[in-house]
Amino acid sequence: MIYVIGVGHTIQHDSLHFFGETHEYIAKLRQLVHDNNIQLIAEEYSNEAARMDQVTDSVTKIVADELGVPHRYCDPDSAERRSIGCHSSDDDHLRLGNWFDKIYDKAREQVIFVCGDSHKTDFASLIAGNGFEVMIVENSFITKVDRT
């Protein structure tokens, strides 16, 4: 089963401020890992994004490391976006396909995938369309900063 969590991207790198929504997000990750024997936590984020956000690791990776669960950044960096033909937001389907490719080897296991809230439904449909079990986690985690 792949559990898809929609977030506002600030939550992924807000390790300094930890808004209330970030605390809720961290608690949800911990609960999902504990309750579902999660084998991988993956996310729409990259090392390049972390550098741009001036952080060493995403909040998601920090939690995965704390829990001893393998983690993968799945969003293509600038060079990889060019190589897959992703040049604008109109090409998001290429990014979603790239994310799926990066977790395909674990798709029959218990996986959490974190992505921007606006992508969660399309990504879940892509996973289901490829014959894998998927569930969108009912909460979206969007900070006040993301709402403005």
Give the residue extent of every domain in the chain: 2-147
- 55: tokens are 């952080």
pLDDT of residue 145: 47
The per-residue pLDDT for range 54-73, each reduced to its tens digit, is 888 888 999 999 999 999 99
Q: Can you tell me whether residue 140 is helix, strand or coil?
A: strand
The per-residue pLDDT for range 15-44, each reduced to its tens digit, is 555 566 778 888 899 999 999 999 999 999
pLDDT of residue 144: 47
Neighbours of 41 (CB within 10 A): 24
Neighbours of 92 (CB within 10 A): 15
Residue type present at position 81? R
Architecture of the CATH domain 2-147: 3-Layer(aba) Sandwich (3.40)
Residue type present at position 3? Y
The pLDDT of residue 146 is above 50:
no
What's the pTM value of the predicted model, to 2 decimals? 0.88
CA nearest neighbour of 57 among 89, 8, 24, 14:
14
Sequence-ordered list of residues with C-beta below 8 angstroms from that of 5, at least 6 positions apart, any chain: 25, 28, 29, 112, 113, 114, 115, 120, 137, 139, 141
pLDDT of residue 17: 55
The pLDDT of residue 115 is above 70:
yes
